[in-house]
Amino acid sequence: MAAVIRLQNSIVRRVLPTINKRCISTSKKNSDTATVDAESKSTTSVTTKNWVSYGFDRKDEAEDRRGMHSTFFFSVTLCLVFGGFFWAYTPDYNLRDWSQREAFLELRRREKLGLPLVDANLVDPKKIQLPSDEELGDTEIII
């Protein structure tokens, strides 16, 4: 959003060129030195003396504030609030909740039947075919 506002402001500056004058004053009184262009009086932007720009528009205070407010509205409200709401209520794609419920149900069933909680022979040992010692050769076996 900030990029759109900056783009709009740069287009306006190209269409309506203004003459920028910068004066250097060595006096310690800031109110003693002032320059005014005749062309700058005709523009509609009025700046206050102590206005510090938010970085969206360096010439018009109202446009600068409008850009700041719209950027923060979109970033905070849309991204953080609605993004957090979406993230909190997305479905469980990895089925983590389902697998935990299923594990608790299985543990409860095994406790009722008096079975061990984790069976050492989850897969029937008769169905597993291990290689013989000749086939393994010098292969290191880490258990």
Per residue in 65-108, pLDDT (tens digit) is 999 999 999 998 889 999 999 999 998 888 889 999 999 999 99
pLDDT at 112: 97
Neighbours of 45 (CB within 10 A): 13
pLDDT at 42: 47
Model pTM score = 0.34
Neighbours of 13 (CB within 10 A): 13
Helices (H), the chain: 2-15, 38-42, 61-72, 83-88, 96-113, 133-136
By residue count, the chain amounts to 143
The span from the CA of 47 to the CA of 75, in Å, is 27
pLDDT at 30: 59
Looking at residue 127, its amino acid is K
pLDDT at 102: 96
